[in-house]
Structure 1
Amino acid sequence: MAVSPSPDGTAAQKYYVLALQAAKPAGDRPFGASILASMARQLLYLDQPHDALELVRLALDGVQKTATPRLRSMLHTREAWAYAKLGRLEAFRRATEAAEDAFAEISPSDPDPEWITYFDAAELAGVTGGRYLELSQHKSMYAGDALTFISRACELRERASMRSLALDQIGLALAHLIKGDLDQAAIVGTAATETAAQVQSDRVRVQLRELYVEISTRNDAAVSGLREQIRETLTR
C-alpha cells in the first residue's frame, strides 16, 4: 500500500504512514486497514473527502477476506462520512446500511483485535448520528435522523465514556436547535455542559463553543441560562 502524507504535511499523517509501513511486513491487513481508516478520518477533518474515500476503499478492498464484522462496520462508517462530506446522499445511505448490516453480524466468537473493541453499538449510533447532524446543518430535514441516532448513542454509552457522552449530548442539543425546539435544546445542553465539565478534552471544548455560538444570537429565555453555564464552564 503506497500512501503519501497529506498535502498539509501534518505530523499525524506522517506518523500514520510510518505505522502503515511498519505493519506491512507483518502481513496484518486488519491493522493496516485500521491505520488507513485513521488517516481517512484525519483527511475528513482537513476537508479532503475525496482522498479520504480513496483510503477507505483501499482499506475495505484489503480486508475483504480477513476483516471481522466489527471492523467492516467501522470502515463503512468512515466510507459514509466521506460520502456525506461529498454530498453523495444515496451513497451515504448505502454505506450507512452496510455498516449496520455488518454490525448485526457480530458474534462473541469473532476474533476481534483489542484495538477495534471500542466500536460498539453506542459508537455506531453516535458516528451515524454525527453524520446526519452535519447534513442537517445544510438541510434541516435530516435533524430528525440526527436526533434518532444520537439519542440512541446517549442511551447506550457506558458511564465510563464521559468524553463520548459529552460529544453526543452536545450534538443532540444542536439537533434540537435545528429542529427549533429551544426548550429541549436547553435541557440537553445543560446536561452536556455538566458532562463536559467532568472531562479534559479539547474536542469537547471546541464542540461546546460551537453550541455556545449557536445559541448566542438567540434571545429566547429558554437558552439564556445555558449560555451563562457554558460560558462559566469554558472559562475554568
Structure 2
Amino acid sequence: MAFFDEAELSATIGIAYQIATKHDAGPHRTRRAEKSLHLLDRALTLRPDHRVRSKAFDHLGLARTHLTVGEVGGAHQETQTALALFGAIGSKRVGDRLAELHDEAAPYAAVPEGAQLREQIQHAVTAGT
C-alpha cells in the first residue's frame, strides 16, 4: 500500500476504463476510451521519475486502449516508449504485458504500423529472455 498513491489510483481506474472499452460496442465506447487515455496520461504525469516500471505499464495501458479503438498509430507510439523503458529495466512483468500486447495487435498485422509494432515487441521480448 505504500506505493498506492494518486498516480496508481489514476492508472488503476484508467485500466478499468480500458477493459470496459474493450467489452463495449455501444455508444459509450469512445467516451470510455477517452477517459482511459486521460487517466493513464494523468498517472504518467504524477509518477516520480524513479518509478520506471510503473511508467512502462502506463504506456502499455495507453497502447492497449489505442488498439482497442483501432488507433494503431497511437498504439505504436506508446509501445515505442514502453519498449525503451523495458530495455532499461528488463522487467519480466513488463515483458509479459508486452507479449499480451503483441497478441492483441494480431488483427492489425496487415497494417504496416501494426506489423512493425508486433515485430518490435517480438524482438524485444525474445532479446529480454
Please confirm whether the aligned pair reaches a TM-score higher than 0.5, indicating the same fold. Answer: yes
Aligned pairs for 1:212-223 (under 5 A) are 212-218=102-108, 219-223=110-114
2:96 matched to 1:206?
Answer: yes
**Match for residue 181 of structure 1?**
71
Aligned pairs for 1:1-236 (under 5 A) are 116-139=1-24, 141=29, 142-218=32-108, 219-236=110-127
Give the fraction of aligned pairs with identical amino acids, expressed as a percent: 32
Q: Calculate the TM-score normalised by the size of structure 1.
A: 0.48
State which drifts further: 196-205 or 176-185: 196-205
Q: C-alpha offsets along residues 102-151 of structure 1, whole Å, 9 cap, x if unaligned?
A: xxxxxxxxxxxxxx442222111111111111222211512222111111
Gapped regions of structure 2 (runs ≥ 5): none
Gapped regions of structure 1 (runs ≥ 5): 1-115
Structure 2 letter corresponding to 1:151: D
Structure 2 letter corresponding to 1:148: H
Runs of 4+ in 1 over 3 A off after TM superposition: none
Q: C-alpha offsets along residues 16-43 of structure 1, whole Å, 9 cap, x if unaligned?
A: xxxxxxxxxxxxxxxxxxxxxxxxxxxx
Aligned-residue offset at 1:162: 0.9
Aligned residues: 121
Q: Calculate the TM-score normalised by the size of structure 2.
A: 0.84
Which one scores higher on RCO, CA 8 angstroms, separation ≥ 6?
2
Structure 2 letter corresponding to 1:126: A
Paired with 1:139 and 1:207, the residues of 2 have a C-alpha distance of: 22
Secondary structure in 2 aligned to 1:118? Answer: coil
CA RMSD of aligned residues (A): 1.5
